[in-house]
Amino acid sequence: MNTENALACCGPGYASPAEAMQAPREKILYTIAIYVGTGIQKPDYLATIDADPESPTYSQVISRLEMPGIGDELHHMGWNACSSCHGDASKERRYLIVPGVRSSNLHIIDCVTDPRNPRLHKVIKGDEIKARTNLSAPHTVHCLGSDIIISMLGDAKGNAPGGYLHLNEDFEIVGRWENSMGDIKFSYDFWYQPRHNVMVTSEWAAPNTFMPGFDLEEVGHLKYGRELHFWDFEKKEPKQSFYLGEDGLIPLEVRFHHDPASSHGFVGAALSANIIHWWKDDAGEWQWEKIVDVGNEPHPEWPIPIPGVISVILLSMDDRFLYLCNWLHGDIRQYDISDPHNAKLTGQVWMGGLLQKAPVVNGREVAGGPQMIQLSLDGKRLYVTTSLFSTWDNQFYPEIRTKGGVMLMVNCDTENGGMEIDPDFIVDFGKEPNGPSRCHETRYPGGDCTSDIWL
């Protein structure tokens, strides 16, 4: 899809970020729950959570859709359509595409027939994807007008750099989306901004590197990413790469402003614990700078100070606040980025983490640290889960295998800035019917702050 067609596309969702902020409060949440690495031989599942404070089942799992196989390691997910298709009656935000990063299976889930009880519509087998595209380990899912692209972290054998899988609106494999990977070494997250004819991608590592667990020496051996890539969106090929060096070790989640006219965007460098900001200058050239630097903290049981490990970032729908999680330190931060060159810390809360500043929250011992987040459309409620990736969880927080994950809600002050953990909301995935499970990414039926793109 070229830029001209993208700009002409209309579809479901909201006409603008401002309209999205006026949407009704979310009533249910869809959250990934994972048994991989717990010793429990049960399928991963999509948990539906009641988020209506007036409901008798508030903050409880009200349905569980199990995947047909075992060992998928569900990780990230995305909608078949988003606000990039606003106004087209033929498009519907009906299906969640839920990949298994280990199996490479893609689960297509109908969330409209019965929103409180989603049902499996179709499975695209990982073996078919590997055979037809030489790609594996699906990660980020984005609607692309009528079609869908998914970042794939490896080739069929689990080696880098991976590429991008292209599906049509009927969830049929079209092939690889990109025309070239250029000199890109690794794949991970991506976001596109059609008005600037750009897609930005980040880097994790080859599946064969990150799946067994984290080895710090492999960072020194250049087996983890430290570059940010700017693509020509129409030509589907990388145009410019920025080497971030020690300031950008393992750049993960990328986020453009929701404002489609803006060129400003951000990426969280996990191991460096930095926020990198990029933008297009007056001459039309892309620039980058570091705007947040989280210092390492000493720990009596570690030979070196502990990095924060910024595992995720997101932007509020009005592009005013940036939120990040320091998965190892255990804190969630809110920054005012009204001036994107000058981030100001306006809020911070603690849950779990290796620094143990809040080991127990709402009466529950937190195994793990704040990892994935999803913000309500009005910016007032931040939902937080604790699992990063099974082998990494078990390495840094081994107790999560038996205690399970937890979801909490953070109330956010959208006027003055500030955060506090809600005392009445907690979902304990340690008490699931089949035993303790982990919890990862969350999405809302109406769209959310990390999936919708405006044109």
Tokens coding 141:
């899912």
Q: Are 154 and 138 in contact (CB under 8 A)?
A: no
Residue 444 pLDDT class (50, 70, 90 cuts)? very high
Phi-psi group of 64: left, alpha or beta (phi > 0 → left; psi -120 to 50 → alpha; rest → beta): beta
* Residues 107-133: tens digit of each pLDDT: 999 999 999 999 999 999 999 999 999
Predicted confidence (pLDDT) at residue 69 exceeds the cutoff of 60: yes
Q: Answer for the pair 89, 95: CB distance below 8 angstroms, yes or no.
A: no
User: Does residue 272 have a pLDDT over 70?
Assistant: yes
114 within 8 A of 46, measured Cβ to Cβ: no
Question: Which residues fall within 8 angstroms of residue 215, CB to CB, at 6 or more apart?
Answer: none
pLDDT at 77: 97
* 3-state SS assignment for residue 186: coil
Tell me the average pLDDT across 53-61: 98
Sign of CA dihedral 322, 161, 167, 31: negative
Tokens (6 digits) for 451: 């999936």
Token digits of residue 373: 């987040």
Question: Higher-confidence residue: 376 or 83?
Answer: 376
Q: CA-CA distance, 251 to 231, in Å (whole number)?
A: 16
**Interacting residues of 343 by C-beta distance below 8 A, sequence separation 6+:** 275, 277, 291, 292, 322, 335, 336, 337
pLDDT tens digit sequence for 73-93: 999 999 998 877 766 667 788
Give me the percent of the chain exceeding a pLDDT of 90.
91
Tokens representing 250?
């393992």
CATH class of the domain at 3-443: mainly beta
pLDDT digits (tens, 9 = 90+) for 204-224: 999 999 999 999 999 999 999
Full-model pTM? 0.96
Higher model confidence: residue 10 or residue 398?
398
Q: What is the DSSP string of 238-301?
A: EEEEEE-GGGGSSEEEEEE-SSTT---EEEEETTTTEEEEEEE-TTS-EEEEEEEEPPPB--TT
Cβ neighbourhood burial of 170 (10 Å; 0-12, 13-18, 19+)? exposed
Task: Say which residue the tokens 């998914």 belong to.
Answer: 150
Q: Answer yes or no: is pLDDT of 387 > 70.
A: yes
In tens, the pLDDT along 273-307 reads 999 999 999 999 999 999 999 999 999 999 999 99
- Secondary structure letter of residue 311 according to DSSP: E
How high is the pLDDT of residue 194? 92
Residues whose CB falls within 8 Å of the CB of residue 89, separated by 6 or more in sequence, listed in order: none
Structural domain spans, the chain: 3-443
For 304-315, write each residue's pLDDT tens digit: 999 999 999 999
Q: Which residues pair with 421 in a beta bridge?
A: 410
What is the reported pLDDT for 12?
63
Q: How far apart are CA 233 and CA 306, in angstroms?
A: 38
Query: How far apart are the C-alpha atoms of 328 and 351, rounded to whole Å?
Result: 10
Question: Distance (Å, rounded) from C-alpha 150 to C-alpha 227?
Answer: 20
Can you name the residues that pair with 267 across neighbouring β-strands?
A: 254, 276
SS3 content of the chain, % helix, strand, coil (to 5): 10, 40, 50
Query: What whole-number distance in Å separates Cα of residue 424 and Cα of residue 418?
Result: 18
The pLDDT tens digits for 139-186 are 999 998 789 999 999 999 999 999 999 999 999 999 999 999 999 999
Report whether pLDDT(1) > 60. no
Single out the residue of 280, 259, 281, 278 nearest to residue 267, CA to CA.
Answer: 278
pLDDT band with cut points at 50, 70 and 90 for residue 3: very low
Q: What is the mean pLDDT of residues 424-435?
A: 98
pLDDT in tens, 22-47: 999 999 999 999 999 999 999 999 99
At 84 the three-state DSSP class reads: helix
Bridge partners for 306 per DSSP:
297
| Tens digits of residue pLDDT in 319-358 | 999 999 999 999 999 999 999 999 999 999 999 999 999 9
Helix (H) or strand (E) holding 193: strand 190-193
